């Protein structure tokens, strides 16, 4: 007997998460120098982290022997002030993925359903299946979430709806009006988790106002992360904002020290560095224009994106991906998102985008 057979069927059925290939792994596999590899595969901030965060991290190294503050008080206070919410409305996570998982563990169980879109972020099915609940996939419309389809998919067993806005890996955005009207239609037994990992990359007009809707909707959970525009992906810190009663449930299943001390101080310093976020936004706008102009020049179709990545269509995505790897360029295959003809590339520095486009051009000849 294999011991794996002792795990519940719903655990055995989980397809493991496929992340972006680490630079060190490609260097080993292809015999390349790490310095010659360009990674545009995980939507990381090409500017790195805020210099203020870096100083805070260096200052905090000496305290590593101590347990972190399990309530992330200083960070909580800063988030509460920035977003004009109460301390009790905030839950911190080991990355915002942790918030998704805490919501699933608090509100889902075997026999109930979670709804998410086709081509939506891969972590939604993972956290749903991990607690034995049933995932219900709503077909996308032109790669975007179909909110009417979501409403039709609701049953008495539905407890949680996951919506990424913008969505990864499609980069599509739902309008604020459509989202708000959708939440208004939800029956009382359904919570919605609005994943806003890329909100910092939206222009002023598109930026989410959902935190302001919490006074109207107590079944809304908004998740944010420090992994993308704030450049702290390696430290793992994110948060959710929600009604205090909902936060109370997530905190009951949260590990007491899920956010480490270094992550807490780095996030706190980052939150105060508006200049760094503004530079990250500007660099992303420029890099996105560079990539999409490159695709047009190469005659490649792409899905217009509101985030810091863009999915583009090629004849043989798996072969092109392999050839990009051989040339030291890491992008993300998205066949596991039911997009077998697409590859997703993250917006990098000017030189990284240029290298990617140059290699791609030679492969298409
Ligand atoms: C990258 C991403 C996240 C962030 O994950 P972290 O755990 O915060 O690093 C969350 N949601 C979506 C849709 C993402 O693409």
Q: Can you give the residue range of the structural domain that contains 342? A: 20-48+275-364
Same-domain check for residues 99 and 160? yes
pLDDT at 11: 94
| Mutational test site, ligand 1, from 165, 194, 195, 259, max ligand atoms within 8 Å of CB | 195
Indicate whether 235 belongs to any domain: yes
The CB of 164 under 6 Å from ligand 1? The reply is: yes
Same-domain check for residues 120 and 252? yes
As a whole number of angstroms, the distance between CA 207 and CA 211 comes to 11
Same-domain check for residues 213 and 288? no
Indicate whether 41 belongs to any domain: yes
CATH of the domain at 328: 3.90.1150.10
Number of domains in the chain: 2
Given the structure tokens 């009951």, which residue do they identify? 252
pLDDT digits (tens, 9 = 90+) for 271-280: 999 999 999 9
Burial class (CB in 10 A: 0-12, 13-18, 19+), 54: middle
Atom of ligand 1 nearest to the CA of 225: 8
Mean pLDDT of 247-255: 98
Indicate whether 3 belongs to any domain: no
**Residue 191 CA from chain centroid, whole number:** 19
* pTM of the complete model beyond 0.85: yes
Q: Where are the beta strands (DSSP E) in 118-273?
A: 134-138, 158-164, 191-195, 220-225, 238-242
- Where does a domain end: 272, 294, 317? 272
Same-domain check for residues 251 and 347? no
The CB of 45 under 6 Å from ligand 1? The reply is: no
Mean pLDDT of 127-131: 97
Please say whether the beta carbons of 93 and 239 come within 8 A. yes
Same-domain check for residues 126 and 265? yes
As a whole number of angstroms, the distance between CA 54 and CA 49 comes to 7
Same-domain check for residues 186 and 288? no
- Centre of ligand 1 to C-alpha 166, Å, is 11
pLDDT at 15: 87
Same-domain check for residues 293 and 165? no
Same-domain check for residues 225 and 360? no
Same-domain check for residues 57 and 122? yes
As a whole number of angstroms, the distance between CA 232 and CA 48 comes to 8
pLDDT digits (tens, 9 = 90+) for 153-194: 999 999 999 999 999 999 999 999 999 999 999 999 999 999
CATH of the domain at 235: 3.40.640.10
| Mutational test site, ligand 1, from 42, 99, 123, max ligand atoms within 8 Å of CB | 123
pLDDT digits (tens, 9 = 90+) for 199-238: 999 999 999 999 999 999 999 999 999 999 999 999 999 9
Same-domain check for residues 198 and 313? no
Indicate whether 9 belongs to any domain: no
- Centre of ligand 1 to C-alpha 112, Å, is 24
- Where does a domain end: 255, 272, 289? 272
Same-domain check for residues 96 and 180? yes
Residue 365 reports pLDDT greater than 90: no
pLDDT digits (tens, 9 = 90+) for 31-71: 999 999 999 999 999 999 999 999 999 999 999 999 999 99
Q: Which helix (H) or strand (E) holds 329?
A: strand 329-330
Same-domain check for residues 204 and 266? yes
């Amino acid at each position: 007997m294999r011991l794996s057979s002792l795990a519940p069927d719903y655990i055995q059925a989980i397809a493991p998460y496929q992340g972006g290939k680490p630079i060190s792994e490609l260097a080993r596999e292809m015999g390349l120098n790490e310095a010659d590899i360009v990674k545009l595969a995980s939507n990381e901030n090409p500017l790195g982290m805020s210099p203020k965060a870096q100083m805070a991290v260096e200052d905090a190294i000496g305290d590593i022997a101590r347990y972190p503050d399990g309530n992330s008080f200083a960070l909580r206070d800063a988030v509460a002030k920035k977003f004009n919410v109460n301390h009790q409305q905030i839950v911190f996570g080991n990355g915002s993925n942790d918030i998704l998982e805490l919501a699933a563990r608090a509100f889902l169980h075997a026999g109930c359903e979670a709804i998410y879109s086709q081509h939506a972020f891969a972590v939604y099915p993972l956290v749903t299946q991990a607690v034995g609940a049933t995932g219900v996939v709503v077909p996308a419309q032109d790669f975007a979430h179909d909110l009417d389809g979501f409403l039709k998919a609701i049953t008495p067993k539905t407890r949680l709806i996951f919506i990424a806005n913008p969505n990864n890996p499609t980069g599509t955005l739902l309008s604020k009006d459509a989202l708000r009207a959708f939440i208004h239609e939800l029956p009382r037994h359904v919570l919605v988790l609005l994943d806003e990992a890329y909100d910092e990359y939206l222009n002023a007009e598109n930026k989410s106002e959902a935190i302001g809707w919490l006074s109207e909707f107590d079944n809304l959970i908004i998740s944010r992360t420090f992994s993308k525009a704030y450049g702290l992906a390696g430290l793992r810190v994110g948060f959710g904002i929600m009604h205090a009663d909902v936060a109370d449930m997530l905190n009951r299943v949260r590990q007491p020290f899920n956010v480490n001390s270094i992550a807490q101080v780095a996030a706190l310093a980052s939150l105060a560095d508006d200049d760094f976020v503004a530079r990250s936004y500007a660099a992303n706008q420029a890099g996105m224009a560079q990539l999409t102009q490159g695709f047009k020049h190469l005659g490649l179709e792409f899905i217009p994106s509101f985030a810091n990545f863009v999915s583009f269509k090629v004849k043989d995505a798996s072969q092109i991906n392999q050839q990009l790897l051989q040339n030291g360029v890491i992008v993300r295959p998205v066949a596991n998102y039911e997009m077998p003809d697409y590859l997703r590339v993250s917006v990098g520095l000017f030189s990284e985008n240029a290298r990617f486009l140059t290699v791609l051009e030679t492969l298409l000849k």
